[in-house]
Each structure stands twice: as C-alpha cells, then as structure tokens.
A and B are shown apart, each in its own frame.
Chain A
Amino acid sequence: MSEALAAVAVALADDELVIGHRHSEWTGLAPHIEEDVAFSSIAQDEIGHAAALYTLAGAIVGRNPDALALGRDPSEYRNAVLCERPNGDWAYTLARHWLYDTAEDVRLEALARSADDALRALATKMRREERYHLLHAGTWLERVAQGPVEGRTRIAEALARAYRDALALFEPLEREEEAVRAGWLPDASTELRSRFAQRATGQLDRLGLPTDIGAVADEAAEFVASSSGDLLAAGPAPPEPAVASGGGGRRGRHSADFEALWEEMTRTYRVSPGATW
C-alpha cells in the first residue's frame, strides 16, 4: 500500500538527481564565476533533496538510499525527460531551470499538504530552500526579457523548445491514483499541470515573452497509452513518439541522452557498490 508513496518519492527524487547532475555539468564552465557557483550550489541543493527523498522511499521499501539513487538500470528511473535533456546553450539552460523550478514549486506547494507526515515535512523544508532557485531563475528571465533582441529571441525559442517537456513533468506518476486516494499526493498531476501552465504563461505574459507556447502544449494535454505501450498525445495534434513529445519518463521511457548521463552518473557506484568516502 505505502509502496505507492515510495513510488511518488522515487520519481521526484529521480527528477532532482538527474537535473542536479545536469546543473553540475556547468561547474567550471559557466559563462561567469557567479553562475558557476550558482549552478554548482543549485545542483548541490537538488541532489541533497534527492537524497532526502530516496531516504524516505528507502525506509518504506527497505532499500539503501544510495542503491536507489545509483544502483538501478536506466529503465527503472522515473524522472521526466525534461531533466535529462543536455544543457545545450545558456538560453536552454535558463529556460529549463525556470520551467523546472516553477513546476517544482507548484508540486511542493501541494506536497506540503500531504497526509504523510514525513513527506509533508520534507516538502515544506525543500520549498523554503527552492525559493532561491526560483529567484535566481526569475531574475535571469527578467534580465533577458528586458534586454536586447538576440537574447529575447533565444530565450523565447528555448522556452518553446522546453515547454512540452516541462508539461510532461506532470504525466501521472506510477500508482498515482493510490497515492491521491490516501492523501499522500493531495492533488492529481493533471490538476498540478494546469496550475503550472497557468502560472508559467501568466509570468511570461507579464515579462512580455511569447505565451503561445501554451497553445501547442494544450493539445498534448492528455496522454494515452497506445497499443505498443507508448504514451501518445491524444487530441488534434498528430501522435508522436513519447520521448519526442517529452513524455514517457514516468514509465521509465527515456531519451537516448539519458543513457550517456546514466553511464557517467552511476559509474563510480557500479565499479564499487557500497564504497564510502
């Protein structure tokens, strides 16, 4: 029964771990020293949050948090595809950072009302720390939105590219219905998705950035399982393979980029499982 709670915690931990890993790839390489430190610090926060969520899940399913974090096969990870996309350029990095942290705030606001004491407490704590991520991303978005045309164009393009992936953060989680019924997940993912879309497009509008990225995405708002087991976008939009549309991550269907990330992220653990520092 409470395995549904563990499944929720693992999916969110996977998001944090994988995007934390991507953020950490800026260490030493970011455009300037403040951003180098910022992305390294944000990565540390996200990976710390992942560790706390794996600990919570591990206590339920009787697994060591490290084994959960690094001892699974790629298809066992439940992170959304958005988190595994390569950093690309600075515009994509910022667009994803902003979308992810906006979505996470929506999710944590709900989890801070969870019927599970441990998850509620952790979500409350995480949300306070995540506030700095939101401020960081928001400051950048505002700066670029008010700046020269090239930056505005590039951020708008990056936002459009990342938006469908961001909506897929709210693909239903495994065993979600159980978790919602028990009150562990106070709001269903579909509800959180509309809340996120409304908040994101509202803020883009306020910044004078294009908001029609939402129109494309609304058509893909419903995901259905096809006969092949892939998640396809239903509605007027032509069906696309799950990974191309940003969905599938919650069922362990990842993009090709994930393989390389997993390879690197888990290498040390695979060489020597259980090693301590």
Chain B
Amino acid sequence: MVTQVRADDRIAARVWEALAHVADPEIPAVSVIDMGMVERVDVAGGRVRVVVLPTFTGCPAVPQIEADVARAAQAVEGVVEARVEMSFDPPWTTDRITPDGRRRLRDFGLAPPEDGVPVLIASIGLPDRARCPFCGSRATRAESMFGPTPCRAVFYCDACRNPFEQFKPV
C-alpha cells in the first residue's frame, strides 16, 4: 500500500515535469505550467487525472491543449491511463501566471499582465500604462481592449513607437 502511494507520488511528480514542456498552442514560448493552467494532478494506481483551467472560456486553443496535456501525461513512465478534465473551478485568473511565465511572455513580445492583478471583478480592466515588452518604457497607451485573440489587448509605445500586445488582465 505504502509502496503504491510512493509510486503514485513519483508518477505525479513526473507528470508535472512533463507538463512543463506542453506549450500553449497560441503562445508557444510558455507552457501550461508557466500559465498556471494546471490546477491539480491526481494519481491512483497509475491512473492519472489532470485538472486544467482554460484561460479564456472561448479560447479556440482549449481542445488542442486538452489533447496535448493528455498525450504528455500518457507518455510518462508508469502511467496506466491519463484523463484530462477542463474545469472553471476555480476560475483561471492572470495572477496564476508564474514569474517564469511572465518573463517568457515578455521575451516573446507580449506584455504580461501586471503582477498580482486583478482579483476583484470590478478592478478588471487594462492598465493605463502597460510596460512595453520591447523597450521597457511605460510611456504607452491602450489602443484597444480587443486584439487578435480573446486574451490580448493592443497598446502603443510612444517611446519606441511600436504597437504591442498585452495579455489581458482577467
């Protein structure tokens, strides 16, 4: 019994590790772990259940993410069966993006949401001056709350004169 629990724990650790290599199909620079999308990994007798939180409800990448996570978990040594459950409980929020994830988003050219925001629904919205991912300036302005995907807003940087996108705080 104890041996089985230990074996399951080891499998769970390996699944977490494997998921760190599952890229977000729309932002390949970050993984589902960077994005804080993996809520839990349960293992019982080698059977794995991964609970994944979609970033945006209408995100067309969700089925792709579901399939990629299932495939990655299935490939882990010792896994008998892997099941992925998409859940809205708790809701995914931008404060779940890890510090590594924020850095990678910035390197990718996508401004990360400000740290720690927004928790209350009434405080959800774009910052006045998102930091430009290209030059680091805050001399920027929001151009549009809506961008090429549901999770992106469009800004313009007055310092380096580049348009850029920000991952929308939600």
Answer whether A44 and B124 are a contact pair too, CB < 8 Å, given A37-B144, A37-B147, A136-B145: no
* Contacting residues of chain A (106-164) with chain B, CB-CB under 8 angstroms: 117-118, 120-122, 124-129, 131-132, 135-136
Provided the pairs A117-B89, A124-B88 are in contact, do residues A45 and B147 lie with their beta carbons within 8 angstroms? no
Q: Is A99 an interface residue (CB 8 A)?
A: no
Residues of B close to A46: CB separation below 8 A:
58
Flag if B148 contacts A37 (CB, 8 Å).
yes
Q: Is A68 located at the chain interface by the 8 A CB criterion?
A: no
Cross-interface CB contact of B91 among A51, A118, A128, cutoff 8 Å: A128
The distance in angstroms between the C-alpha atoms of A34 and B168, with both chains bound, is 16
Q: Tell me, yes or no, whether B78 is within 8 Å of chain A by CB.
A: no
Asked if B170 and A129 sit within 8 Å, CB to CB, the answer is: yes
B-side interface mostly: loop
- Asked whether A127 lies within 8 Å of B121 as measured between CB atoms, the reply is yes
Q: A51-B58, A132-B124 are in contact. Are A44 and B147 (CB under 8 A)?
A: no
Tell me if A42 counts as interface (CB < 8 A to partner B): yes
A48, B91: Cβ atoms closer than 8 Å: no
B89 neighbours in A (Cβ, 8 Å):
117-118, 120-121
Nearest neighbor of B54 in chain A, beta-carbon distance: A125
A-side contacts of B99, CB under 8 Å: none
Residues of B within 8 A of A34 (CB): 143-144, 146, 154
- CB neighbours (8 Å) of B145 from chain A are 38, 132, 135-136
A121-B87, A125-B91, A132-B124 are contacts. A45–B57 as well, Cβ < 8 Å? yes
For residue A220, CB closer than 8 A to chain B, the reply is no
Contacts of B67 in A (CB 8 A): none
22 interchain pairs (CB within 8 A)? A34-B143, A34-B144, A34-B146, A37-B146, A37-B148, A41-B146, A42-B146, A45-B57, A45-B58, A46-B58, A48-B58, A48-B150, A52-B57, A121-B91, A124-B88, A125-B57, A127-B121, A128-B124, A132-B124, A132-B145, A132-B168, A135-B145
